[in-house]
């Protein structure tokens, strides 16, 4: 899909306990899929953009579900077959305030992604290459694939988007910081929470520190406080929308999708950020990683207070 979003990474099966409380007392579970990069691809597609996701999947029902769900969402799927299993995560809401996730992904199909899997022509034709800080943590070959993709895109003049997305269960702050700093230094667009940015820049000036590394579009996602950004030298502050939070998981990916969808559509920075905030707000009102990604009509209803009859 020429001119659209190109992204890649590991998408896993998701076993989610229904309700809130200890896992031992969960009475029922929902099975779905989840992955930061594919969540963004779904979000962009739902907002009318072209999105391609690439990843390795195993010879199992979970791998087939990933192909099916992403394709049904309008994403162009490049699911590379692998002899290993498709990764799995198990999530439960221990309380209304936080979720707990266990990963079963060591040696998975997704972790075996390597530079030779990446189609150079597709990277050169993309409107934006989007990568995250999760993939470099999965394996040495995954890390090499991310940096090769970034360099291929940069050489072709394709904007590179990076969501820092630090995962403490995958690697330590000590191991992650230099890799994430190097990745951000090669990006045009960077998304991070304040806590993630503090891994490798001065906490006293997060926007300035990230900008000095090289990106021209720096966006700090700050949950219920909204976002602050510096884009083309101009500072923007956008408050969060007041909504009832059902499930906070996936809000950050929806935010990124909203911003990138509008960027691909040629919208100005302020509009991109407002769409990002609205998409993130919409996502927390429904359960699941990417199931709540809104379309344009739903976003308009959320921001305009419209009632669909």
| Active-site amino acid positions | 253
Q: Is residue 1 part of a domain?
A: no
265 pLDDT higher than 50: yes
Find all residues with CB under 8 Å of 305, minimum gap 6, and list them.
none
Read off the pLDDT of residues 92-148 as tens digits, 9 standing for 90 and up. 888 766 778 899 999 999 999 999 999 999 999 999 999 999 999 999 999 999 999
**Number of domains the chain is built from:** 1
Confidence band, pLDDT 50/70/90 cuts, at residue 287:
low
Contact between 241 and 26 under an 8 Å Cβ cutoff? The reply is no
The beta strand positions in the chain, using DSSP E, are 5-8, 12-20, 29-34, 51-57, 76-81, 88-93, 99-104, 128-132, 160-163, 189-192, 217-221, 227-231, 234-238
User: What CATH number has the domain bearing residue 106?
Assistant: 3.40.1190.20
Q: Is 85 part of any domain?
A: yes
**For the segment 168-178, what is each residue's pLDDT rounded down to a tens digit?**
999 999 999 99
- The sign one gets for the Cα dihedral 244, 295, 275, 5 is positive
Q: How far apart (Å, rounded) are the C-alpha atoms in residues 158 and 240?
A: 30
Confidence (pLDDT) at 309? 37
Q: Classify residue 309: in a domain, yes or no.
A: no
Q: Is residue 235 part of a domain?
A: yes
In-domain check, residue 55: yes
174, part of any domain: yes
pLDDT at 282 over 60: yes
Question: How confident is the model at residue 86, as a pLDDT?
Answer: 98
In a domain, 283, yes or no: yes
Query: Does residue 2 lie within any of the structural domains?
Result: no
Predicted local confidence at residue 57, as pLDDT: 98
pTM: 0.93
**Cα(149)–Cα(8) distance, rounded to whole angstroms?**
10
User: What range does the domain containing 257 cover?
Assistant: 7-304
């Amino acid at each position: 899909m020429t001119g659209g979003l190109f992204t890649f990474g590991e998408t896993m099966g998701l076993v989610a306990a229904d309700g809130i409380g200890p896992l031992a007392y969960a009475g029922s579970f929902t099975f779905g899929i989840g992955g930061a990069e594919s969540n963004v691809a779904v979000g962009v597609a739902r907002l009318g953009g072209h999105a391609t996701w690439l990843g390795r999947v195993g010879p199992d029902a979970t791998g087939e579900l990933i192909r099916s769900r992403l394709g049904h969402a309008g994403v162009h799927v490049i699911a590379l077959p692998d002899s290993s299993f498709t990764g799995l995560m198990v999530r439960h809401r221990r309380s209304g305030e936080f979720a707990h996730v266990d990963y079963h992904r060591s040696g998975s199909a997704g972790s075996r992604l390597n530079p030779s899997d990446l189609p150079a022509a597709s990277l050169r034709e993309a409107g934006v290459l989007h990568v995250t800080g999760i993939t470099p943590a999965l394996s040495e070959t995954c890390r090499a694939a991310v940096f090769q993709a970034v360099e291929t895109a940069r050489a072709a003049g394709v904007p590179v988007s990076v969501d820092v997305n630090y995962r403490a269960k995958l690697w330590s702050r000590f191991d992650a910081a230099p890799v994430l700093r190097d990745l951000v230094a090669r990006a045009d667009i960077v998304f991070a929470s304040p806590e993630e940015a503090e891994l490798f820049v001065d906490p006293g000036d997060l926007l300035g520190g990230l900008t000095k590394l090289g990106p021209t579009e720096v966006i700090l996602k700050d949950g219920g406080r909204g976002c602050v950004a510096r884009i083309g030298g101009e500072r923007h502050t956008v408050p969060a929308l007041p909504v009832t939070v059902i499930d906070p998981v996936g809000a950050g990916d929806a935010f990124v999708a909203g911003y990138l969808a509008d960027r691909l559509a040629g919208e100005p920075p302020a509009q991109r950020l407002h769409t990002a905030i609205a998409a993130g707000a919409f996502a927390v009102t429904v359960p699941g990683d990417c199931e709540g990604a809104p379309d344009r009509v739903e976003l308009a209803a959320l921001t305009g207070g419209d009632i669909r009859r």
